[in-house]
Every structure is written in C-alpha cells, then in structure tokens.
Amino acid sequence: MNFKLLTVFLLLYSFTLQAQEYHKMNFSLVKKIIEEPDQTRRAALFVQGNIQEIKRLTELLNGTFKFSAGDIASIELPIGKAMTLAASPDVLVMEDNHLIIQPMNDSLVSKANVTPIHLGLPPLPQAYDGQGVVVGVLDSGIDFNHPDYKDAGSNTRIISIWDHNLTGAPPAGFTYGREFSSFQINNGQANAHVDNYYGHGTHVTGVAAGNGLAINNFKGVAPAADIVSVCLNWNLPTNNWLTTIADAVNYVFQKADAVSKPCVINISAGTYYGSHDALDLQAQLINNLIVSQPGRAVVCAAGNAGNIRLHMQYNSTSGTDTSFTWFNYNPAYGTAIYMEMWSNQTDFQNVKFSVGADVTNGYYEHRGQRPFTNVANHIGVFKTDTLWSWDGNRLARVQSQATLSAGRYSMIFNVIPDSNTYKFRLSFTGAGKFDLWSFQMESANVPSPTVYPPAAFYNMPDFTQNIVSSFSCSDKVLTVAEFGNKQSYLDCGSNPVTLSVITPDSLAAASSKGPTRNGLIKPDISAPGGITMAPLVTYQIGTIPPEKIAQGCMHMRDGGTSTSSPAVAGVAALYFQRYPNATWQDVKNAIINCARLDNFTGFTGIPNNTWGYGKLDGFNALVNCPPLGIAENTSSPNLLLAVYPNPFHEEVTFGINSLNRNENMNLEIYDAAGRKVYHVKINPQATTVKIKHQQLGSGVYSARLVSGGDVSNMVKVVGY
C-alpha cells in the first residue's frame, strides 16, 4: 500500500470510528462536539451502560460522576473528552439536552375534595395535613419569608433550598448552585436566594403545601408538610436543564431519606420537544429513582399548549403520495428552524424526506429542494449540506443527524436560513409513520388547492399530543390536566374581579392533551387551576397589579397546569401521611381509580387523553383506594381488621384481632361518599362478624373497628 492510499485508509478508518461513536450520541451532543470552540467546557450528560466503568472513565477524563440509578449515570465531562468516553464498549448511549425549560402556569382545596381530609371526617380515623411527609418543588424558587412557609413559632418549614442560579456552596455530591439549610434560613443567611420568575415557584409551593398562616382562606393541600425547594436555572447557557431536573429529583429524595420521611416531588415545568415516550435517559433515570424504594412519587404539569397546533403526524400505508409541511423562520425560537421527527424503528425505514424552500409572499413558488433521503443515510453521521435555489443561489445550510435508541429513530434537520423571506418545507413520502413537534409549523396561512395546487398534499399540524415531553410521558409519573377553579374573587382592595375567560369546572382550553407517542394515556388526572389564590412574593407586591392580588394582599391569582399539578402533589402527600410505605404505583392507583366524574368529564369514554381518569378527589382516594398489604400510619397495633372474601356476593366475614377488647367495640362501615351506612356493636369475645349482602348491597365500602381510644386499620370492601 502506497503512502497516499495509506493516508486515505487511515482517514476513512478514523471517520468510521467517529461515526460509530456518533451512533451512541444524540444530535445536540454531536453538534457541540463539532462546533464548540472551547473543548474544555464541561457538559452535563446522561450515560447508560456499565456504571462502575463509566464512573472510572469519567474520573479518569477529569469529569465528575454525580450519581446513578439503575444503569444510567448523571455526569459532567469536558466536551473534548466525550468521544473518548463514547469509545468505551461499556458505554451504550450518551445524551446531553439542548432543550430549554418553561414554567407551566381557597376553593381549589374544596373542589379537589380535600376539606374532609383536613377535618378528618369519617370514615377517616384522623385528620391529615401532610405532617411527616416531604414535598419537593422544582420550580423558580420560593419566598421563604412568606408566613405560609413558617410555623406558629415563626420558624421555617423549609428543610433546604438549592438555588441553581447562584454559586458558592453546592450540595454534597454536586458541582453547581448554592444550598441553604433551614438553619441559614432561620438566621437570615439565605437572602441571596430569590424567586426569580414572577413568583411562579412561590405560588406553586403554596398550592401544594402553604399553611395559610398569613390568611387561612388560602391554605394549601398539605399544609403541615416539610418543604424542599429547588430553584431551577431557566436560562442555562449550555441548556443542560434536563440534567439539572434529574439532579434535583435525586437531591430532594436524598433530603427526604435523611429525615426518614416519604416524599412527593412536583414539577410544574417542561419542554414541548423530544420523543414524548419517556424512553430518553433522563426520564429513565428519574423512573429508576422513583421505583428504587417505597414512599416516593413525582407529579408534573401536562403543559399549556392544548390550543396550539404543536404536533404533526405522517401516517401512510400506500406511500405513493408526497406530502409536505411548512415551517416559519422566527427569531423568537432561535437562529434556525428545528425539525425533529420521532418514529418506532419498524415504522420509519421506508419513509423518505427532504428539506426545501418556498416563496409565499403574494405568490407561491417552490424555490429549491434537497434530494430525498432516508434515515439509513443519516445514522451516526452529522452532516452539513447546502440548500440551493433552482437558479443557483444559496438559501440555507442544513444540518442533519439520525439516531437509533431504545427501538426508535430520531431524525433531525436544523435549517439555518440565509433569509427570512422563505417558508421552509419538510417533504415526505413512502409507507410509514412518524411524529413531529414544533412551534414553527405553519397552520394559519396555508392556501387552498385552487390557489396553490400542491396545497392539496399539505400535512396540517393538529391539536393532539401537545403534552410536554420526557418524564411527564412516563407511566410512573402522575401528569395533570387543568380545569377551571373559579371566575370571581375580591382583590387586595376588596373590589370584585370576574374573569369571563375562566369557566369553572370545565377543561381549560390551554390544558395539554395526550396521548404519548407510544400510545400511553396522558394526562392521568385533572385538577383545579385558574383562578387559584396562593402565596405571592412579598417583596414584589408593589410591582404586581393590585387586581391580581387577593383580599388580604398576601396571595395572588394564577392558573394553568402549573397550579393543577401541585394540587395532586398535595393529595399524594396526604396519602403518604396515611400510608408512608406506599409506592408510586399505590399513589397513582389511588388517585386515578378514585377520581370523580361529572357532566364536564362525561361518564363514558373515560379514561381519555383530555381528562385522564377524571377529576381529583382527595377524600375518595384516601378512603376508598388503600394500598394492598400496607398498613396505614394511624392504625393501632392493638386492633386489626381483616376481610374475606373480597369482593363478596352473598356474605362477607370480618376477622377481628384485638388486644383491647371491651364492651364498647364497634364495627363501622361507610359508603364511597363517606356516609356511615352500617354500625354494629361487637361482643368483646368475638373473633369474626358476618354480614349478609342484602344488609349492605352492591357497592364500594370502607370498614374499621373502634374500641375505646383505638381505631383499627381501614379496609376496602366491595359487594357485587
């Protein structure tokens, strides 16, 4: 082999190795490796594979191994070292995240049927307020000086704050942000922290866990819970926010473990881009954290894009026609037009696609088109091509790459226009199916086929599948839709305010809809949203319009799924108070299986991808959907009740195990609405009580024993 051929061989061999490593990476990570001028800049990454070897290699490459759950690790690594790490056979997949987080934005407690829980109405054995449970909120921060976040002795209810926007003292095991302890908060040493997004985090935390100390009318759902607040960085210069979300979930669970308490985390934030199937490494890592032990749950907002044509699907069995969709260049969404297709592996191999450009200002003309290609030509290869007009003028640069991970393809085009006078088109043909999400798709100004004949093949974006992506699409996360809370209230000056855009109890127009890309029903549940009053940032009172502030001047109105989500998180906290060893599955089952239906949700066709399983009903969840085989926190060890058979048709037997037998021992049975429907005094020597079906009838009931000051466990009984 001569020198010239050897050089070509080595170059091709090097490119092949590089392509192999690119095959393990997502588009934005490869783009950073190629384009980032500072290869020493550290990037936050998720890495899947052999954890022990990933840890060793990360530290060897001057990176930071933060934590792992299952076979997925969260690390930081200089960008220039990413290829070296990817070359290890112990590394299967590497992902960074180029997406930017967005926030998802009184009578709520009543509409969610939480008031009977706070009162401890029968058949509950006691009142529940979230005591002994940690509520973590990942949001924009918290006004820790607000009275609703202090106890009666003016001490903070906040265990800790981790502010991602500050530097100086990160939590143990992390390399960024600044942590403030309850001691520092109580002693005036946490003033560097502020709620930096118009009080969004302060309001959200108040819905979940405000105690109403300022004004009791605006008490939250779990008013005695401990609080851990994570202040997210909404403007990360490297846009690694998905990594910080996973870090924050791990951090909150660690704080709850340190005080041996169950924990629910609320995330009223998300991104509308991505695969929408929860198979990305970030979502899988969060799943692994949730399922790793009992007493953990995560709740999130579905999003507020229900009235936006955000989603487009191509689905062709014949593959004979060529369709297209236009994309608008808009500087508000960056300097490029981003097109990201997602598909199951078997649905995408025969689809062909191409990027082109059109003039649509006053007349319609197709100006240029890249050759059609398929996903096989882009796997593991980062390309930069040029889109030329038919007469030889450059219209745009087109970057592209495809990845195959977890049995699905992503195919990305990043179009960098030379001019904003064109609409850029994505054309597609061939048998197959894919989904695409974008705020840049054209839906309002598409001409009729009589004006522009190719418009007959225009693939219009739709109003479905506009839920936020990643962890919110997981079956292990409760995802929440919004319905109207109320229309009217009295403002800070005691003036009546009515917002006609809110229809109480009806689904909010902006509430995002499912399903997930892989067909999972989302959202899971709906809860009250606008108008809801919760704590405002006290140091912003002078800048908030007075009509937005509630009577008493310590709370303000807000809404959206951002507000609905913490209502569900609060009910999860109440559930954990009663059943501290419940799992995420127990909490989810209770909330969705004991949901409420009405004329707004309809009584048929539930669950669906607008309401989920119905409306949040906290009391019903705590009374009629107990976890199987898990004792409640308040049950007396001296008084236990069993039931068999269950469900029953002819006769049901209650088994009694009591160390506190006296003349005042009673069996109490309640229906699904909490009404006592059966009550019988029990012989102190009895070990069983039998009840005929006709004495109760068909239905779902709850039963308990009461003997002196002791109350037994509550058991669910089903007659049919």
Token readout for 91 is: 């590394």
**For position 10, what pLDDT does the model report?**
32
The pLDDT confidence band at residue 295, using thresholds 50, 70 and 90, is very high
**For position 34, what pLDDT does the model report?**
81
Mean pLDDT confidence for 490-494: 85
Residue type at position 507 = L
Read off φ and ψ for residue 238, nearest 5 degrees: -105, 5
Any domain includes 383: yes
3-state secondary structure of 214: coil
Mean pLDDT confidence for 110-131: 90
- Residues 154, 260 within the same domain: yes
Eight-class DSSP state of 372: P
pLDDT in tens, 691-712: 988 888 888 788 888 876 677 7
Token readout for 5 is: 């051929």
The pLDDT confidence band at residue 18, using thresholds 50, 70 and 90, is very low
Q: Which residues of 548-586 are buried (b: 16+ CB within 10 A; e: fewer)?
A: ebbbebbbbbbbbbbbbbbbbbbbbbbbbbbbbbbbbbb
Q: Which domain holds residue 481?
A: 102-306+467-624
Any domain includes 516: yes
- % of the chain exceeding 90 in pLDDT: 57
Asked if residue 616 has pLDDT above 90, the reply is yes
Token readout for 442 is: 């054209």
Beta pairing class for 352-359 and 365-369 = antiparallel
Asked if residue 463 has pLDDT above 80, the reply is yes
Query: Higher confidence at residue 717 or residue 277?
Result: 277
3-state secondary structure of 414: strand
The pLDDT confidence band at residue 652, using thresholds 50, 70 and 90, is confident
The pLDDT confidence band at residue 532, using thresholds 50, 70 and 90, is confident
C-alpha separations of 272 from 238, 304, 308, 408 in Å: 18, 10, 11, 18
Last residue of a domain, one of 397, 427, 457: 457
Q: Where would I find the H helices in 292-377?
A: 345-348
- Residues 218, 268 within the same domain: yes
C-alpha separations of 719 from 99, 269, 580, 695 in Å: 51, 42, 28, 11
Sequence-ordered strand ranges (E) for 379-421: 383-388, 394-405, 408-417
Asked if residue 307 has pLDDT above 90, the reply is yes
Beta bridge partners of 233: none
Contact 337, 415 (CB under 8 A): yes
Asked if residue 464 has pLDDT above 90, the reply is yes
Sequence-ordered strand ranges (E) for 70-208: 72-78, 91-95, 102-103, 134-139, 158-163, 178-181
DSSP string, 550-569: BTTSSEEEE-SHHHHHHHHH
Last residue of a domain, one of 95, 127, 157: 95
pLDDT in tens, 567-587: 999 999 999 999 999 999 999
**For position 631, what pLDDT does the model report?**
66
Last residue of a domain, one of 67, 95, 123: 95
Any domain includes 632: no
- Residues 208, 263 within the same domain: yes
DSSP string, 536-554: --GGGGGGS-GGGBBTTSS
Indicate the range of 339-343, 484-488, 645-649, 659-663 predicted with least confidence. 659-663
Q: Which residues contact 267 (CB under 8 A, 6 or more apart)?
A: 138, 139, 245, 298, 299, 300, 301, 471, 472, 565
Tell me the C-alpha distance between 563 and 611, whole Å. 16
The pLDDT confidence band at residue 69, using thresholds 50, 70 and 90, is confident
Any domain includes 462: no
Three-state SS sequence of 483-494: EECCCEEEECCC
Whether residue 331 has a cis bond before it, omega within 30° of 0 = no
∠ Cα 464 466 468 (to 5°): 150
Mean pLDDT confidence for 111-136: 92
* Virtual torsion, Cα 537, 543, 547, 551, nearest 10 deg: 40
**For position 683, what pLDDT does the model report?**
82
The pLDDT confidence band at residue 682, using thresholds 50, 70 and 90, is confident
- Residues 495, 613 within the same domain: yes
CATH of the domain at 406: 2.60.120.1290
- Residues 162, 279 within the same domain: yes
* Virtual torsion, Cα 584, 587, 589, 590, nearest 10 deg: 170
**For position 334, what pLDDT does the model report?**
74
- Residues 215, 91 within the same domain: no
Read off φ and ψ for residue 529, nearest 5 degrees: -130, -100
- % of the chain exceeding 70 in pLDDT: 92
**For position 1, what pLDDT does the model report?**
41
- Residues 372, 391 within the same domain: yes
Tell me the C-alpha distance between 432 and 348, whole Å. 5
Token readout for 299 is: 């709740």
Instruction: Give the residue carrying structure tokens 């994570």.
Output: 230
- Residues 450, 479 within the same domain: no
- Residues 429, 477 within the same domain: no
Mean pLDDT confidence for 268-293: 92
Closest-CA residue to 646 (of 595, 585, 719): 719
- Residues 85, 151 within the same domain: no
The pLDDT confidence band at residue 107, using thresholds 50, 70 and 90, is confident
Q: Which residues contact 340 (CB under 8 A, 6 or more apart)?
A: 27, 273, 274, 410, 411, 412, 436, 437, 438
Tell me the C-alpha distance between 166 and 192, whole Å. 8
Tell me the C-alpha distance between 380 and 388, whole Å. 25
Any domain includes 630: no
Contact 251, 231 (CB under 8 A): no
Beta pairing class for 715-719 and 699-707 = antiparallel
Tell me the C-alpha distance between 33 and 54, whole Å. 19
CATH of the domain at 685: 2.60.40.10
Average pLDDT in the chain: 88
Q: Which residues contact 214 (CB under 8 A, 6 or more apart)?
A: 146, 147, 148, 535, 552, 554, 555
Whether residue 453 has a cis bond before it, omega within 30° of 0 = no
Tell me the C-alpha distance between 242 and 538, whole Å. 30
Compute CA 429 distance to the chain's CA centroid, rounded to the nearest angstrom. 34
CATH of the domain at 69: 3.30.70.80
∠ Cα 570 571 574 (to 5°): 95
The pLDDT confidence band at residue 647, using thresholds 50, 70 and 90, is confident
Closest-CA residue to 651 (of 685, 703, 696, 714): 696
Asked if residue 621 has pLDDT above 90, the reply is yes
Any domain includes 83: yes
- Residues 538, 404 within the same domain: no
Any domain includes 241: yes
Question: How many contiguous H segments (helices) and E segments (strands) does the chain have?
Answer: 15, 37
Asked if residue 634 has pLDDT above 60, the reply is no
Gyration radius of the chain's alpha carbons:
28
pLDDT in tens, 338-351: 999 999 999 999 99
Total count of domains within the chain = 4
CATH of the domain at 238: 3.40.50.200
pLDDT in tens, 545-566: 888 888 888 888 899 999 999 9
Asked if residue 195 has pLDDT above 90, the reply is yes
48: buried, middle or exposed (CB in 10 Å: 19+, 13-18, 0-12)?
A: buried
Asked if residue 2 has pLDDT above 60, the reply is no
Asked if residue 5 has pLDDT above 50, the reply is no
Eight-class DSSP state of 464: S
Asked if residue 177 has pLDDT above 80, the reply is yes
The pLDDT confidence band at residue 99, using thresholds 50, 70 and 90, is low
Identify the helix (H) or strand (E) that includes residue 47.
Answer: strand 42-49
Query: Higher confidence at residue 631 or residue 523?
Result: 523
- Residues 29, 81 within the same domain: yes
Any domain includes 29: yes
pTM of the model: 0.80
Mean pLDDT confidence for 219-237: 89
Closest-CA residue to 524 (of 510, 536, 514, 532): 514
